[in-house]
């Protein structure tokens, strides 16, 4: 478990579910866009005071930012899938498409 990466993924999920861009969140918490990007891509963990700013700006509980296993709604699930697909190789993406197509065929 890599808490820095998991936190970044979770922050991105919540931000996207709230319909915010990185620029909008950066402005709300008084951070640079590059800082938000680094946090979301898992290369930087936020300081305590910035975690508190995220809670306020995103109107969520602190536990929501550390709830790495529970996906609450369709938008968060899509954000999680987008993040995973961005990290996948071409071969993995081709495999995922075959799996999805096969699954959809069984539902007909």
Helix or strand (DSSP H, E) at 71: none
- Write the DSSP string, 32-67: -HHHHHHHHTTS-PPPHHHHHHHHHHHT--HHHHT-
Q: With bands split at pLDDT 50, 70 and 90, how would you rate the model's confidence at 8?
A: very high
Is 79:12 a contact under the CB 8 Å cutoff?
yes
31-45, 55-69, 77-91: which has the minimum mean pLDDT? 77-91
Q: List the domain boundaries for the chain.
A: 3-106
Per-residue pLDDT at 44: 96
Map tokens 């866009």 to a residue: 33
pLDDT tens track for 47-79: 999 999 999 999 999 999 988 776 567 787 788
Q: What is the CATH code of the structural domain delimited by 3-106? A: 1.10.260.40
- Measured distance CA(75)–CA(16) in Å, rounded: 7
């Amino acid at each position: 478990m890599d808490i820095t990466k998991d936190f970044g993924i979770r922050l991105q999920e919540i931000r996207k579910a709230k319909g915010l861009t990185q620029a909008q969140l950066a402005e709300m918490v008084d951070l640079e866009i590059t800082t938000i990007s680094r946090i979301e891509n898992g290369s930087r963990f936020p300081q305590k005071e910035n975690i508190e700013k995220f809670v306020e700006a995103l109107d969520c509980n602190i536990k929501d930012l550390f709830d790495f296993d529970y996906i609450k709604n369709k938008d968060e699930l899509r954000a999680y899938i987008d993040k995973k697909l961005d990290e996948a190789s071409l071969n993995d993406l081709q495999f995922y498409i075959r799996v999805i197509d096969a699954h959809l065929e069984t539902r007909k």
